[in-house]
Amino acid sequence: MKIAILGNGGREHAIATQIIKSPKLKKLYCIPGNAGTDSIAENVSLDFYNYESLLHFIKKNKIDLVIVGPEKPLVEGIVDFLSRENVKVFGPNKNVSQLEGSKIFTKKICERYNIPTAQFGVFKNADEAYKYLENVNMPIVVKADGLAAGKGVYICEDLESSNKAVKEIFNGKFGLAEQVLIEEFLQGDEMSYFVISDGKIFKRFNTAQDHKRVGEGDRGKNTGGMGAYSPSGLINAELDKKVITEIVNPTFKAIKDMGENYKGFLYVGLMIKNNNPYLIEYNVRMGDPECQTILPLLVTDFLDLILSCCEETLQNQNILWEEKKSMCVVLCSNGYPESYKKDVEIPNIKKIKNDDTFFIYHAGTEKKDNKVYATGGRVLNFVSISDNFKSSRDKVIKEIESLNWNNGFFRRDIGYKIIDK
């Protein structure tokens, strides 16, 4: 089969690494890909938001399946377009992608289907929001409604900072904002829970724990993710059952009631308090960097699994996992998540080799003249799997240090809640 993966991040490199293991694969394209995918696939310099150019490439090269990595094209309807052109594509359509595209859309589903979540208010202008904030308990959470690459969330300790958050959102920091969401701050521990669906049924995929704050001890500004580990240390049989019955089942009922079906990954972002789950958010694709820490544990043929979703035969799949502990630490450009230098060479990257238990997934990189350059805020994902999280983290830190790249930084404490407790 000829497969095309859309995207250029660490998630897409991890997906490509799994796909190339399948005996069904004949040729793999990454559009546009990065310096990492360049070594295992053919990178194609193409703007996939130009649907007609993308379609021309697909038809010309007789692509059998398109896998959509990031959220933005899903929310904007790329699956709908390709499906209309009879292209087999893995990912949810535009309507159901509003689960990620609009936090308010998701909150209204929670309200209607009694899905446990934080209490909230929706405001169409700053003055309404300011007035509401005068009468709430702090801390409070202020969110931009649309896509914000994981950064449109403010946890505010006082009235001044919450008002500032509202102002920044309505002033367009994360794009055009017609509404702002303000919700209560839930105490507890976060967990990422994934399911995969073929439109008829869903199956549990795996769990992970993400670290979003830039600083150690989970301090500082929100980022797209500084690291993650899998499986989550919070998961147990009782909690697993609650997540399915109280959150996932009602959500798929809501999708069915909309007259839609859902094909793809659903990322369930949870807050766990006293072994009870509360929905924070949905993402309509694999998380990043959760994908990078989960997929190395997968034993089942990933391409087979995706094809079964496209063909509505997921019930025939038995999803198998290695009984190991996976740790991912993200190496970032100095200055991230604010401004940072681009096109900085990473001269020693070729000296570090992947093996069966250690992987480097490229995120913000580009290959030019046979050299690798950092082009993004999150640059490389270092992943190790072993029998325990501490060994995995120790291996990752050792390899990052051996890179000896002075233009980056990373968190040394990823997984501290499970390693140091």
Give me the mean pLDDT over the 187-205 stretch: 96
Quote the pLDDT of residue 150.
Answer: 54
Quote the pLDDT of residue 137.
Answer: 86
Give me the mean pLDDT over the 315-328 stretch: 97
Domains and CATH numbers, the chain: 2-91 (3.40.50.20), 119-184 (3.30.1490.20), 189-316 (3.30.470.20), 325-419 (3.90.600.10)
Whether 25 contacts 41, CB under 8 Å: no
pLDDT band, residue 408 (cuts 50/70/90): very high
Quote the pLDDT of residue 148.
Answer: 57
Q: Which two tokens stand for residue 105?
A: 């859309």
Give the lowest-confidence range in 99-103, 203-207, 339-343.
Answer: 99-103
Considering only CA atoms, which of 288, 211, 212 is closest in space to residue 34? 288
Quote the pLDDT of residue 135.
Answer: 84
Mean pLDDT, the chain, rounded, equals 94
Give me the mean pLDDT over the 303-307 stretch: 98
Across 243-273, b (16+ Cβ under 10 Å) vs e yields: bbebbbebbbebbeeeeebbbbbbbbbbbbe
Give me the mean pLDDT over the 16-24 stretch: 98
Quote the pLDDT of residue 40.
Answer: 97
CA-only gyration radius of the chain, Å: 21
pLDDT band, residue 217 (cuts 50/70/90): very high
Q: What CA–CA distance (Å, rounded) separates 356 from 379?
A: 22
pLDDT band, residue 174 (cuts 50/70/90): confident
pLDDT band, residue 109 (cuts 50/70/90): very high
Write out pLDDT tens, residues 232-268. 999 999 999 999 999 999 999 999 999 999 999 999 9
Write out pLDDT tens, residues 124-168. 889 989 998 988 888 998 988 766 555 578 888 999 999 999 998
Write out pLDDT tens, residues 28-83. 999 999 999 999 999 999 999 999 999 999 999 999 999 999 999 999 999 999 99
Write out pLDDT tens, residues 343-381. 999 999 999 999 999 999 999 999 999 999 999 999 999
pTM: 0.92
Write out pLDDT tens, residues 82-97. 999 999 999 999 999 9
Quote the pLDDT of residue 149.
Answer: 56
User: Does residue 302 have a pLDDT over 80?
Assistant: yes
Question: What percentage of the chain exceeds 90 in pLDDT?
Answer: 84
Give me the mean pLDDT over the 290-299 stretch: 98
User: Does residue 196 have a pLDDT over 90?
Assistant: yes
Q: What CA–CA distance (Å, rounded) separates 204 from 197?
A: 9
Quote the pLDDT of residue 222.
Answer: 84
